[in-house]
Structure 1
Amino acid sequence: MQSLPVDLLIEVLLGLYLGLLTGIIPAFVAGSLGFLVRYFTGVTLPGFGVVVLALSIASVQGGLLGLVEPTIAQSPRLFIAVLIVLMLALYAHNQGDKLGAELPRRLSFTRLRQRTLSADVVELVGSVGQVTVRPTGEIRDMEGYPPLSPALRGTLKTGSWRLPADLPLSELEARLEERLRTDHDLADIDVAIDERARATITAAPPSGSLSRRVPAGQRAVSIATLVPTGIAHGDEVIVRADGRSITGTVLSARTDIDGDRAAAAAPETPDEVATDGGNAIEPASTDAKPNAATAGGPGRVTLAVARRDVKPVLESELPRLVVQSRGTSREFEALALVKREGYAIRRFTVGATEADDETASLETAASSADVTILAVRRQGSETSGRRHGWVFGPGIERRLEAGDEAFVAGPDDATEAFVEAIAR
């Protein structure tokens, strides 16, 4: 009689052990079926079916175990093992059903790329949200390119950039890539931004930047002259050389004042610094921005001129520069004319619609209100999967779909009403 509690405790422990060992596969099958049935049909798998399925699978394992030890069928441990198997199967089914109900049914790579920033990293400046993007981890080297210089790597690692917070992460990545490529004249760059506004940067150093800026059929010539204040890369100039006027394009410019400022801003480094191996450490040099405007004064300018004009420019003793006017930007002139007529241009993203007839009614309203769709951007076959592919003048045969970005023009009130109705 005294050994009865000990035997009962052993039977309970053996029942728990057998139930956990046998219930793994039934629980996995029940959870998987519960998830699949709820995700694809929206119906919860009945609990009675889960019980029958779990017992059927467990009976196979129990039968095999019974062949090894037939005494299990007559012991209390079998009842406890069955209870453990049913509990595991029902719990796994409940979790799978819950996951199938919460997981989005329409999931695509495009919508994953259009995820936005976390709300706690957005800073409100007035009524506009902005975010400060900072690099995380080390600045990686682009495969197939030389490694970055220590100075450029340090500049990128300690930098921070403010960008609009109402854009998807793919657009933020594209803007940051363009800014870094322009500011540092990088040969190639790849940026990945997460929801916390942390950027992973992979960059390639500038390579052959001057030769890439020289147009085909022209040559780069450097001359010492009086540099106009504010001149920068891309300005059209006329070189007055020995009575001749030669047209050229500014590739880079530097004055004595710019050199003094760079020397003053550069950190002081020891003249002779050596590592343990005896190799001297070269002081970090600041990377000049090729598109930065220069201060006026004596200096040197590199111009792109025609091949026949190279010799006259080099032989001139006192060349002078005259900056030409580019005139008014045609894009601003066109926008001014549109606003003068009382029209407005708006950019928006099409929201999700419940049916195609809703989109059709919106497009009919747009045509009746003289709202014109100027351009549509959709990532797909029409743009070859590119990130910046715009289709201009899509026409009435093209239907707007959820997720499309579009520019529309029309009367101010009608345009605002159309954007409010269709935008998200």
Structure 2
Amino acid sequence: MQSLPVDLLIEVLLGLYLGLLTGIVPAFVAGSLGFLVRYFTGVTLPGFGVVVLALSIASVQGGLLGLVEPTIAQSPRLLIAVLIVLMLALYAHNQGDKLGAELPRRLSFTRLRQRTLSADVVELVGSVGQVTVRPTGEIHDMEGYPPLSPDLRQALKAGSWRLPADLPLSELASRLEERLRTEHDLADIDITVDEQARATIVAAPPSGRLSRRVSMGQRAVSVATLVPTGLARGDEVTVRTGERSITGRVLSARTDVDDERAAAASPAPPETDEIATDGGEDEETIAPASRANAATAGGPGRVTLAVARRDVKPVLEADSPRLVVRSRGTSGEFEALALVKREGYAIRRFTVGAAGADDETASAAAVTILAVRRQGSETGGRRHGWVFGPGIERRLEAGDEAFVAGPEDATEAFTEAIAR
């Protein structure tokens, strides 16, 4: 009589062991069927069917394992093993059914790649979300390029940039790369942005600024002459040297008046008792690179031109060359924009918000979609080129950049509705 509790405890433990051993496969099958049926049909698999299926699989598995014996069938361990099998099967079915109900129906690799920012770093400015991206860690040098200068490295490390917060991380990195490449004239740059708006920057310093603007078959020459007022980089000019006229393109221009203005705008150096050395022009007195595109004030100065190789010697040998600015005509883009504004229409550029837009919205707003630029998975989240006149079959999606045209009130209402 004293051994009865010990025998009962042994039977319970053996029942738990047999139930766990034989219940793994029925639970896996029940969970898989529950997920597949709920995901593809939206219907929950009945619990009675799960019980029958689990018992059938467990009986087959028990026969293969040699567990169905007269001694086992007549002992309490069998009842406990059956209960364990049914509990595992019903639990697995419940979890599979829940997963099938919560998993999105339209799942693509593109959406998985479009990670967005954490809500903690988004700042609301009016109704538009913005984020301040800051660099994290050190600014790394890009392999195959010279190292960054200390000033440029410090400027990148101390910088912060505000960008729209409704864009994927890949698009934020792409926009920041274009911005820094333009502001600092970087040869190359690679940026990775995480969910906390922290940017890891790998950059290459500027190299060959002037040589990159000279086309193949041309040479850059500098001449001292009277610079026309308003001359800027990119203008087409004619250099008259005696009886010859040589055509060239302006790469940079600088006059004495520009130098005087730059010297007046620069802060005066602090007084010091140290002896000044003839080390050339101080870097702080040189005009920043952003003035290279500015128009000159006119007067005596120097102009760097891109001319054909055969014209280099005549230009350099000329005693007093004269510059004549050639007409490039009226830009067709500005003419088209003037005609649009004359008719009372407006053109707006915007980025589609998370809600997207459909063609019914565009039709109701009486606007016309002129061009769309979209990112794709085959380019690693980078932007494609502009698609002009996309037509009604190209629906606007979240993250698209678009140009629209229409009446001013309708265009403003349309952009405010879908650019949030």
TM-score after normalising by structure 1: 0.69
Distance 1:229 1:83 in 2: 95
Residue 293, structure 1, aligned to residue 294, structure 2:
no
Distance 1:251 1:69 in 2: 97
Label 1:172 to 1:314 Cα distance change in 2 as closer, same or farther (>3 A). Answer: same
Which amino acid counterpart does residue 11 of structure 2 have in structure 1?
E
**Deviations 1:154-211 (CA, angstroms, capped at 9, x unpaired):** 6545543211224344432321121122233334434343433233445455555543
Q: 2:122 — aligned with what?
A: 122
Distance 1:339 1:239 in 2: 35
Residue 14, structure 1, aligned to residue 14, structure 2:
yes
State the superposition RMSD in angstroms: 4.9
Q: 1:311 — aligned with what?
A: 313
Label 1:226 to 1:59 Cα distance change in 2 as closer, same or farther (>3 A). Answer: farther
- Contact 1:132/1:161, CA 8 A, preserved across alignment: yes
Give the drift of 1:89.
2.0
TM-score after normalising by structure 2: 0.70
Distance 1:10 1:231 in 2: 99
Give the drift of 1:293.
1.6
Alignment of 1:213-224 (within 5 A): 213-221=213-221
Distance 1:393 1:120 in 2: 38
Give the drift of 1:126.
4.8
Distance 1:5 1:384 in 2: 67
- Contact 2:253/2:301, CA 8 A, preserved across alignment: no
Residue 338, structure 1, aligned to residue 340, structure 2:
yes
Give the drift of 1:417.
6.2
Distance 1:421 1:127 in 2: 11
Distance 1:150 1:26 in 2: 66
- Shifted more, 102-111 versus 13-22: the winner is 13-22
Alignment of 1:53-132 (within 5 A): 53-66=53-66, 71-132=71-132
Q: 1:186 — aligned with what?
A: 186
Alignment of 1:22-421 (within 5 A): 22-66=22-66, 71-136=71-136, 145-146=144-145, 148-149=147-148, 151=150, 155-206=155-206, 208-221=208-221, 234-236=233-235, 247-250=248-251, 291-293=289-291, 303-315=305-317, 331=333, 334-347=336-349, 349=352, 359=359, 369=366, 371-378=367-374, 387-395=383-391, 398-401=392-395, 403=397, 406-415=402-411
- Shifted more, 60-69 versus 19-28: the winner is 60-69
**Deviations 1:51-84 (CA, angstroms, capped at 9, x unpaired):** 2222233333322333598744443233223222
Label 1:23 to 1:68 Cα distance change in 2 as closer, same or farther (>3 A). Answer: closer
Q: 2:276 — aligned with what?
A: none
Structure 2: segments with no counterpart, 5+ residues: 270-282
Which amino acid counterpart does residue 196 of structure 1 have in structure 2?
Q
Number of residues paired by the alignment? 388
- Contact 2:30/2:50, CA 8 A, preserved across alignment: yes
Which amino acid counterpart does residue 400 of structure 1 have in structure 2?
R
- Contact 1:191/1:199, CA 8 A, preserved across alignment: yes
Give the drift of 1:333.
5.9
SS at match of 2:107: coil
**Deviations 1:187-237 (CA, angstroms, capped at 9, x unpaired):** 4434343433233445455555543321222212357899999998x3538
Label 1:83 to 1:377 Cα distance change in 2 as closer, same or farther (>3 A). Answer: same
**Deviations 1:11-45 (CA, angstroms, capped at 9, x unpaired):** 33333333333333322222222222211111112
Give the drift of 1:132.
1.0
SS at match of 1:104: coil
- Shifted more, 20-29 versus 291-300: the winner is 291-300
Identity level (%): 78
Give the drift of 1:104.
1.2
Label 1:9 to 1:320 Cα distance change in 2 as closer, same or farther (>3 A). Answer: farther
Distance 1:333 1:72 in 2: 94
Label 1:300 to 1:52 Cα distance change in 2 as closer, same or farther (>3 A). Answer: farther
Label 1:178 to 1:379 Cα distance change in 2 as closer, same or farther (>3 A). Answer: closer
SS at match of 1:293: helix
Distance 2:35 2:245 in 1: 78
- Contact 1:66/1:73, CA 8 A, preserved across alignment: no
Q: 1:271 — aligned with what?
A: none
- Contact 1:231/1:293, CA 8 A, preserved across alignment: no
Which amino acid counterpart does residue 293 of structure 1 have in structure 2?
R
Label 1:53 to 1:317 Cα distance change in 2 as closer, same or farther (>3 A). Answer: farther
Distance 1:85 1:207 in 2: 71
Give the drift of 1:131.
0.9
SS at match of 2:88: helix
- Contact 1:142/1:203, CA 8 A, preserved across alignment: yes
Which amino acid counterpart does residue 45 of structure 2 have in structure 1?
L
**Deviations 1:266-309 (CA, angstroms, capped at 9, x unpaired):** xxxxxxxxxxxxxxxxxxx99x9984226999998754333244
Label 1:86 to 1:171 Cα distance change in 2 as closer, same or farther (>3 A). Answer: same
- Contact 1:26/1:54, CA 8 A, preserved across alignment: yes
